[in-house]
Amino acid sequence: MSTPRPKYVAVRPLPAASQKIGLRHSAYDPPTRPRELLRVAFRRVVLLVVAIIALGVFGMIGYKFWVDWETQGMIYSDGDISVPHNHVAIVFGAGLNHAGGPSAMLYDRVATAVDLYDTRKVDKLLMTGDNSAVNYNEVEVMRKTAVDLGVRDEDIVLDYAGFSTWDSCYRAREVFSLGEATLVTQRFHLPRALHTCDALGLSVVGVAADRQGYPTSYNEARELPALASTVWNLLTNHQPRFLGPKVDVDERQSR
């Protein structure tokens, strides 16, 4: 008596001996060619990179919102009489115009710091900016502007190596030995500047130097990558390009 055959039988011809067969998950999977394996691996790598970048971007956006929230109570408006007294105001550079004078944003920063000085909210002005080239000296322009507005020259301290917000804050602590300060810059910049100084151990408040209308869209857009750079600097304890000897803010600098 013959054995009954199953109703359905999968029949697959055996491959020729010379035919190359790739990896299979089961006996019924078609062979996978090396080129297909590479294509699948490449697709997975691309998806992984995209996922990492997306997570990083959304993570930094969330971090930016947290920094804005964390520092909002540390920011005062220009002219606010409740600004606490600090011995030193840190005035950040903001570029020069085509004529070699202060840009609109830089002038506002200096003028706001001068008002703090006039109302005895600060005693000294630490001008920090870029002097990386002989024909480009932000801090000297800032000094001359402040002197023209009535500040005594002996109450102005110059930081010629404030090439970035990180450098300025780090050098304020390490070179100028500051433990507290009033930061003077535009409102869009204050959260990052305050967060940086606070993370470096300085007790700080900020005064917004928004005295006129000027386009800030580019500056606001670059705050996110700049904040990412700040996070990296904090994680790696990155040191500025230049540190140098200690400077006493209460001693008159040689010009």
Percent of residues in the chain assigned helix, strand, coil, to nearest 5: 45, 15, 45
- Enter the CATH code of domain 70-236: 3.40.50.620
Contact between 169 and 202 (Cβ < 8 Å): yes
Sheet of 180-185, strand order: 75-76, 203-208, 180-185, 88-92, 124-128, 156-159
Element (DSSP H or E) covering residue 28 = none
Q: Is the torsion defined by CA of 194, 197, 201, 203 positive or negative?
A: negative
What pLDDT does 83 receive?
A: 96
Contact between 151 and 246 (Cβ < 8 Å): no
Query: What are the pLDDT digits (tens) for 34-70?
Result: 777 777 777 777 777 777 776 767 777 788 888 999 9
What pLDDT does 19 receive?
A: 52
Contact between 70 and 106 (Cβ < 8 Å): no
Domain ranges of the chain: 70-236
What pLDDT does 1 receive?
A: 56
Digit-by-digit pLDDT tens for the chain (255 residues) are: 566 665 655 555 555 554 555 555 555 556 657 777 777 777 777 777 777 776 767 777 788 888 999 999 999 999 899 999 999 999 999 999 999 999 999 999 999 999 999 999 999 999 999 888 878 899 999 999 999 999 999 999 999 999 999 999 999 999 999 999 999 999 999 999 999 999 999 999 999 999 988 877 787 888 888 998 999 999 998 999 888 899 999 988 877
What pLDDT does 218 receive?
A: 81
